[in-house]
Structure 1
Amino acid sequence: MLAKTLFGFEDLLATELRNLGAINVEKGVRSVSFEGDKGFMYKANLCLRTAIKILKPVKTFIVRSEDDLYAKVYAMNWERFMNVNSTFAINATLADSRFTHEKYVALKTKDAIVDKFRDTHGERPDVDTRHPDVRIHIHIQRNQVTISLDSSGNSLHQRGYKTRTNIAPINEVLAAGMLLMSGWDGTTDFMDPMCGSGTMLVEAAMIACNIPANINRKEFAFEKWGDFDEDLFEKIVESSLKKTREFHHKIIGYDKAPSAVMKAKDNVANANLAEYITVKQQNFFETYKHTEGKLHMVFNPPYGERLNIDMERFYKSIGDTLKQNYPGTNAWFITSNLPALKFVGLRPSRKIKLFNGKLESRLVLFEMYEGSKKGKYMNNKKED
């Protein structure tokens, strides 16, 4: 099978798959291939935090032309996967291929499938791009075609808990990947000081409590397949929920907009995590650290793409607030406004290239020590 992911998350996804029990895990570009049975496919969809699709390849072949593509798709035994009463949709992706238009490839594939059914049964299945019974994915790299069934349906970032969003919401898979990349493991207090609709807060709580990422999702595409084993799926859900754990620290979210706070609280409640998460209407630049020990902070500040703000002043305020009010904090945030980073006035310990949608971004870490960094270094030298 193939799990698709976002740029930069291949290592995270490979680790997740191995931890779940996948075998023969191999990293690709924005994807990780692996082996597992039907039950593992169910578990992967339910539990993976950094996957956006789980594809099950059913046929691979070489094509030389458009007619060749049509003939080989037509020759497949489509009755294994659907019937004349099924609805279906096709998604195509191309990589360094003789074919140049994804929509044309999808249309050619659709024609071959419906013609096969019409010639065999005198009837044809209908296309339904919104809510099909079967989702088919065709990937062409150079002249190699892989036909897969999409076992997920809608992208797995659509967890099911987020019913209200803000102007620039962060993708749930991106949020989870950032948290895992930052080393968040639920052993300290956590804060998102610009929490928007609460995505980072919910994902942080789910990681801390080891709650399956997609437990709130209404359905997966595999539930419409002819061989769907409902009893097996229910056992996997039950087994996954038994592995949850308690969380004994604080998760705090701030946002200065009352509407954002309301949305965040609604989404936290939808995820059944209100007992772990506190959301307050507060301007981060007027706050200070009020927790003991280390604080883990991950957030998604405005980039200036959709919100018109003074970037120089805003990013300077981020740096000033962290430096003056948040000692003992590991502060991570993502931005696509790379020139604005210099206004923070602090040197990042790490800088990781990611994409927020189509925006090339950087996930940066600022380590705010108790006292001066030089003082911490000298203390460590004494201990040595």
Structure 2
Amino acid sequence: MENNYTMIAKSLYGFEQELAKELRHLGAMDVKPGVRHVSFVGDKGFMYKANLSLRTAISILKPIFDFKIFNEEDFYKAIYNYPWENLIDKNGTFAVESTVNSEIFTHSRYVVFRAKDAIVDRFRDKFETRPNIDTDNPDCVVNVHIDRSDCAIALNSSGEPLFKRGYKSATNIAPINEVLAAGLLMKSGWDGQCDFLDPMCGSGTLLIEAAMIACRIPANINREKFAFQKWQDFDEDLFAIITESALKKVRSFNFTIKGYDKAPSAVEKAQTNVENANLSEFIKVERQDFFESFKTTERHLHMVFNPPYGVRLDIDIPKFYAKIGDTLKQNYPGTSAWFIVADLEAIKHVGLRPSRKIKLYNAKLESRFLQYEIYEGSKKAKKNIDS
């Protein structure tokens, strides 16, 4: 137990429960959901596993100290007095990131500059030399979180956000964030035990995340690096064992995962990203206009998609969303259809009553994640059968 410590997994608003469930499934202890984060306890090996496997985490932070601040001098002194030489080589590199909610500091960039100054000044005073700033590939990423007078300092073990999975080399105008995509799939109940369709697949993110969930492939297996790999205490052999253990949990998939898009360029980009993720054997991408398509399987179909909102793509909202509802109702019996929409007025034009409506945010856009159950025959007939 002495090797365990508290960590924080940051996430998107509304996905804290999914992240907490993931952490418990991985074996984390003392899991506590918060707002846009979940705290948990584990050891170094678990930190490696969390970075490699979590689908709804943006980063994994290792807290190192916290303190109260009442003015800028308090902040500078506390940062200066910490023994950074135990974590950062004097000839190495580091970067600082910050989240600020405070009347003392009103600009997060200023907090970054003051923290950098304090760390650099300590090295200069003690060693007459200093580590360099590297925002692209630093040896150490220092995370500063200020909430009113509370300041928490942590190391970001992930480095680049974990939604940068490593498989996406081609994107469209409005690509969906990989963490958001995985979270939507998990909220929809997708578990890989039926056929799947994304009828407006764009660059293929939902398809790839769906296949990785279905096959239990670690979310970040395609990443080239994590920040902890540059830490002085990085255990390469332990990381190799953790990776091998995660890959042993991969399972076969006996259903179909399909993606449609009417734009040839989108189909090409999706296929490229699927190949990058080494998932071509599981995913088929076709050029197809959803509004002219029909369900191609007699089995139950699980559908999740991210239709245009009219924000970055110019569409006729009422007409477009009415066609979504008509296509689902007429052409997709026996389907559980989910989609996310940021134009809340658009929901009225679908012409179907959603069975679930979940409030979320897509970037800064308040959105709804909607479920429509399209039954074989009428809903009334379905109820009679069930009864």
Which SS does the other structure have where 2:111 is aligned? helix
1:30 aligns with 2:32: no
Letter in structure 2 aligned against 1:55? L
What count of residue pairs does the alignment treat as equivalent? 381
1:347 aligns with 2:353: yes
2:320 to 314, 325, 328: 314
Confirm or deny: 8 A CA contact 2:359 2:367 kept in the other structure: yes
1:150 aligned residue: 156
**Rounded Cα–Cα distance in structure 2 between residues aligned with 1:41 and 1:264:** 31
**Rounded Cα–Cα distance in structure 2 between residues aligned with 1:135 and 1:193:** 39
1:261 to 263, 267, 270: 267
1:305 aligned residue: 311
**Rounded Cα–Cα distance in structure 2 between residues aligned with 1:372 and 1:141:** 53
**Rounded Cα–Cα distance in structure 2 between residues aligned with 1:97 and 1:50:** 31
1:125 aligns with 2:131: yes
Q: Taking structure 1 as the reference length, what is the TM-score of the superposition?
A: 0.98
1:74 to 69, 74, 80: 80
Confirm or deny: 8 A CA contact 2:334 2:374 kept in the other structure: yes
Confirm or deny: 8 A CA contact 2:72 2:104 kept in the other structure: no
1:113 aligns with 2:113: no
1:162 aligned residue: 168
Structure 2 residues not aligned, in runs of 5+: 1-6
1:224 to 202, 223, 230: 230
1:270 aligns with 2:276: yes
Which SS does the other structure have where 1:13 is aligned? helix
Letter in structure 2 aligned against 1:357? A
Letter in structure 1 aligned against 2:346? A
**Rounded Cα–Cα distance in structure 1 between residues aligned with 2:270 and 2:192:** 20
2:104 aligned residue: 98
**Rounded Cα–Cα distance in structure 2 between residues aligned with 1:60 and 1:378:** 60
Sequence identity of aligned pairs in percent?
63
1:242 aligned residue: 248
The Cα shift of 1:103 comes to 1.1
**Rounded Cα–Cα distance in structure 2 between residues aligned with 1:302 and 1:68:** 48
Which SS does the other structure have where 1:269 is aligned? helix
The Cα shift of 1:338 comes to 0.8
1:377 aligns with 2:383: yes
**Rounded Cα–Cα distance in structure 2 between residues aligned with 1:50 and 1:334:** 17
Which SS does the other structure have where 1:106 is aligned? helix
**Rounded Cα–Cα distance in structure 1 between residues aligned with 2:345 and 2:70:** 47
**Rounded Cα–Cα distance in structure 2 between residues aligned with 1:333 and 1:189:** 16
Cα deviations by residue, 1:67-94 (Å, 9 ceiling, x for unpaired) = 1111111110001110221111111112
**Rounded Cα–Cα distance in structure 1 between residues aligned with 2:374 and 2:145:** 46
Letter in structure 1 aligned against 2:91? N
Which SS does the other structure have where 2:91 is aligned? coil
Cα deviations by residue, 1:107-133 (Å, 9 ceiling, x for unpaired) = 111111000000000011111112211
1:252 aligns with 2:258: yes
The Cα shift of 1:329 comes to 0.2
The Cα shift of 1:97 comes to 4.8
Cα deviations by residue, 1:7-49 (Å, 9 ceiling, x for unpaired) = 0000000000000000010011000000000000000000000
1:11 aligns with 2:14: no
Structure 1 residues not aligned, in runs of 5+: none
Superposition map of 1:42-61 within 5 A? 42-61=48-67
**Rounded Cα–Cα distance in structure 2 between residues aligned with 1:282 and 1:214:** 30
**Rounded Cα–Cα distance in structure 1 between residues aligned with 2:36 and 2:252:** 33
1:83 aligns with 2:83: no
**Rounded Cα–Cα distance in structure 2 between residues aligned with 1:343 and 1:333:** 14
Confirm or deny: 8 A CA contact 1:97 1:140 kept in the other structure: no
1:214 to 220, 225, 232: 220
The Cα shift of 1:99 comes to 2.1
The Cα shift of 1:95 comes to 2.6
**Rounded Cα–Cα distance in structure 2 between residues aligned with 1:250 and 1:365:** 21
Q: Taking structure 2 as the reference length, what is the TM-score of the superposition?
A: 0.97
